[in-house]
Chains A and B, each alone.
Chain A
Amino acid sequence: MLTRRKLAVSTAAFALAAGFTGAAYAQQKTVVEFWHGLPQPLGGQLEQVVKGFNDSQDKIQVNPTFKGSYPETMQAAIAAFRAGNAPHVVQMFEVGTATMLSAGPAIKPVHQLMSETGSGFDAAAYIPAVRGYYSSKDGKMMALPFNSSTTITFYNKDAFQKAGLDPNKPPATWPEVADAARKLKAAGVTCPMTFSWPTWTQFEQVGALHDKPFASEANGFGGLNATLKINDPFFVKHLQTLIDLQKEGALRYGGRDNAADSLFPSGECAMIQASSGLRGRIIKEAKFNWGAAPLPYWPDAIASPKNSIIGGAAFWVMTSPKRTADEYKAVAAFFSYLARPEVDAKWHMDTGYVPVTLQGFELAKKEGFYDKNPGAEVPAEQLTRTATTENTMGLRLGNLPEIRNIIQEEMEKAFQGQQTAQQALDNAVKRGDTVLRNFERANKN
């Protein structure tokens, strides 16, 4: 029953709430539309970061909206741009970088945004492998790095123990990995090893680690006329090793994209090469002791491996005919907030993505995060262990998602025994180059 008093209180509360909204309107907050592609629980954590910014000041309101997976978010942003209604900021996965850059007037490079709005922004604060991926040929930051990951190895310590392997000494080279996989198999492990994101982990990362080009023209940084280089004997030998291990039952192909992710936390596979972002899920689901290690390398190809390249996504600023200078200023303020070491370090520690700034990494160290979470420093260390070369800056290839699918398809045919490793990679290069030529043609001015 609603008493008179309750009624009075609720009326007052209502009036108060209305007053607040009224006040907010009166202040004329600048609204920034921000589209992202992170599903739960990461999406919720990202929205918390945005809330942190919104609460930190009272002039700008950033509205985060989940638009589906990365490719769907990209599609939505492109469609919105075509309709003259692009969001201010869109989160785009790393393989969409070349497509975004070729968009020319559709995007506003971050370095330009920051200098125009007079924000003290220092691109050098970012980890080199991250900075390189999102910089133009002349080293200018094009997008704001945010959630970056890299590939590392996770291994099951219990299974290692069972197979007579040292659980505290994960295999460091490919011959050692093959050896460990065989021993695991002999000890009755049905899936000694697997990998997620086949193209990313087995070609893009393997190329970077060994300083071998994935494509010509500095992996596409040099121009749209790049061609694929993955039918080089080095990659053929690598793929052949994978095929041989699979035939022996020492390796399992776990499917496209991140389909193999579930095989490790469930205890099915004893080793997995996957995104460092898998860490959160392993912590939640794995019922065994596990460890994290850097990716293995081929000692006959390189004495000590180079830095790995990144995955994940960055924030791009989009243009629209009706955008005002105030709105760009608001975006710049939002970006400056995200670049703060404490924001970066917190995001890193909460999610398993790597810290994108050097200071963020230092801060996480200082807070003792790595002492409490052994193995969590592996991705950042692997990314920062060498200076980047033109083969380890990342990839700048048009329609890379399509090329990744082509490589996956040809790999699958090779794993089935329908073609040799050489044929698979020759086909991948031929089909991939067609994609690159079409992209070149469609994006020439």
Chain B
Amino acid sequence: MQRRVIFDNRALPYLLLAPQVAVTLIFFIWPAAQALWQSVHLQDAFGLRSQFVGLENFQAVLSDPNYLETVKTTIVFSASVTVLSLASALGLAVMADSKIRAASAYKTLLIWPYALAPAVAAVLWMFIFNPDIGILGRALNNLGYAWDYRLNDGQALTMVILAASWKQVSYNFIFFLAGLQAIPRSVLEAASIDGAGAVRRFWTITFPLLSPTTFFLLVVNIVYAFFETFGTIHALTHGGPGKATETLIFRVYQDGVVNHDLGGSSAQSVILMVIVIALTAIQFRFVERKVHYS
């Protein structure tokens, strides 16, 4: 058996790999190492004084009852955003995939929100839900429902979940639609002829055949909910009221950038990194078994 068929030059494969390796080193390994170093130090804001404190930062973070609350909030938030944005995107994709009038117009409209920056999306939501200036917020209050997300934990969390999910639906929609269009029509037609209804066709044929897409989106969405919803939360609620909408990544920003607690913030980044590595490992080890690749 011939092993090296492509490269007869020893250096070339390394050279071709070099850009990717360099990017990984500069943009991942180096910052990660910095975070590790800072997480075991106590520093003033200007970096003039720095002392080694061992695992004290981790201990301080993990023994803070507010941090554990934030972990809970993050779990609720991420699970809700993932489920909501996947389910609604799948629903919309199935509808857009069927033979309807002006399907391309719907598709375009559905993809639009993805082009918005998270902060811009949040401002749009504020114009809808702010109890003083928002169209719907004012209407709710006029109807006698006390809507004020600045002072109601549940309402605030619901709103950031909706806003963050809405933002992600477009992305999921594109992938689901592509996945749906890749499913051979002949299989579905054969099932129809055999007398399977629309619901049955969906759950026994379409959904299993979509599983690689769904799995990919599951990973992407969890990462999105963990890391990329910061802008939405920051612009809408600043993590409040109380700490009701503070997620882990929001607190990393808050402690590091606003509060200049670099040690504590780095310790949290390291914890967050471990959580996401663990989540990804679990997904690939267990969830992937249920995925059918044709």
Contacts and interface: CB of A to CB of B under 8 A. Distances in A.
Contacts of B275: none
Interface in A103-125: 103-106
A99 interface: yes
A106 B46 contact: yes
B49 A268 contact: no
A444 B43 CA distance: 10
Interface of B is mostly: loop
Given A409-B243, A418-B242, A103 B48 contact: yes
Interface stretch (B4-12, B175-183, B200-208, B257-265): B257-265
Contact of B42 (A266, A415, A441): A441
Contact of A401 (B47, B150, B243, B258): B258
Contacts of B132: 191, 254, 262-263, 266, 268
16 contacts: A71-B258, A102-B45, A103-B45, A266-B133, A399-B261, A402-B258, A405-B254, A405-B258, A405-B259, A408-B240, A412-B151, A416-B151, A416-B152, A416-B153, A416-B241, A442-B42
Nearest to B263: A442
Contacts, number: 87
Nearest to A401: B258
Contacts of A445: 49
B150 A253 contact: yes
B46 A82 contact: yes
Interface residues of A, number: 42
Contact of A442 (B43, B133, B243, B258): B43
A99 B259 CA distance: 10
A413 B44 contact: no
Given A78-B45, A405-B254, A256 B133 contact: no
A342 interface: no
A75 B152 contact: no
B107 interface: no
A361 B151 CA distance: 40
Interface of A: 71, 75, 78, 81-82, 99, 102-106, 191, 253-257, 259, 262-263, 266, 268, 399, 401-402, 405, 408-410, 412-413, 415-416, 418, 431, 435, 438, 441-445
What 6 A-B pairs have minimum CB-CB distances, sorted nearest first? A412-B241, A402-B259, A255-B150, A413-B242, A103-B46, A442-B44
Nearest to B238: A256
Nearest to B153: A416
Contacts of A78: 45-47, 260
B44 A416 contact: no
Most buried by A among B133, B150, B257: B150
Most buried by A among B42, B152, B240, B242: B242
A336 B258 CA distance: 32
Contact of A257 (B46, B151, B238): B238
Contacts of B240: 255-256, 408-409, 412
Interface in B18-74: 42-49, 66
A413 B43 contact: no
Given A441-B42, A442-B43, 16 more contacts: A78-B260, A104-B48, A191-B132, A255-B150, A262-B133, A263-B132, A399-B259, A401-B258, A401-B259, A402-B258, A402-B259, A409-B240, A412-B150, A418-B242, A431-B66, A438-B261
